Each structure stands twice: as C-alpha cells, then as structure tokens.
C-alpha cells in the first residue's frame, strides 16, 4: 500500500517539475521576442540603402536618410 502512495507522489512530482520547466522555457521564448517588437518602424536610406529605425533617420521631402552627409545638397 505504501509503495502505491509513494509511486503516486513520485509521478505527481515528476509531472509538476516537467510542467514548471516547460512554462519557464515558454516564458524565456516570449521574452526574447519583445526587443524586436520595440525597435519601431524601420526605414531605408535613399542614398545608400541601409535600414535604420525611423527615430534615428533624417527626413527630407518625405524621404529618409541615415546621416546629414546623405541628405540631398541644396541646389544653387
């Protein structure tokens, strides 16, 4: 009788720890996705074609550029 009780408790503990481990792994997987979701909108530089966050880009005539050097020169 005690063997059955011990076996039941042992099986319950194994199931408990396996579920706990799987939940932790799922939580870590979801945590890895969040940085890419918070990067923001990416835009392409019209001069060199590099992609960068919209918040870091320079905008001129609704076009985006990665640096001031790539902004179009004013025509004289």
- DSSP letters spanning 21-33: HHHHHHHHHHHHH
**Residue 61 shares a structural domain with residue 75:** yes
What are 5-20's pLDDT values in tens digits?
999 999 999 999 999 9
Look at the chain and report how many structural domains it folds into.
Answer: 2
pLDDT, mean of residues 38-57? 88
39: confidence class by pLDDT, cuts 50, 70, 90: low
- Classify the phi-psi angles of 62: left when phi > 0, otherwise alpha if psi is within -120 to 50, otherwise beta: left
47 and 63 Cβ atoms separated by less than 8 Å: no
- pLDDT of amino acid 6: 96
Judge if pTM exceeds 0.85: no
Q: From 20, 48, 68, select the one nearest 57 (Cα to Cα).
A: 68
On the question of pLDDT at 25 being above 60, the answer is: yes
51 and 29, same domain (yes or no):
no
Domain holding 23, by residue range, is 1-38
pLDDT band at 29 (very low <50, low <70, confident <90, very high): low
Same domain, 67 and 44: yes
């Amino acid at each position: 009788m005690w063997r059955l009780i011990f076996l039941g408790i042992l099986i319950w503990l194994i199931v408990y720890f396996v579920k706990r481990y799987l939940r932790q792994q799922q939580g870590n997987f979801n945590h890895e996705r969040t940085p890419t979701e918070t990067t923001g909108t990416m835009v392409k530089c019209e001069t060199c074609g590099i992609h960068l966050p919209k918040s870091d880009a320079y905008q001129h005539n609704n076009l985006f550029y990665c640096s001031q050097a790539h902004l179009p020169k004013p025509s004289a």
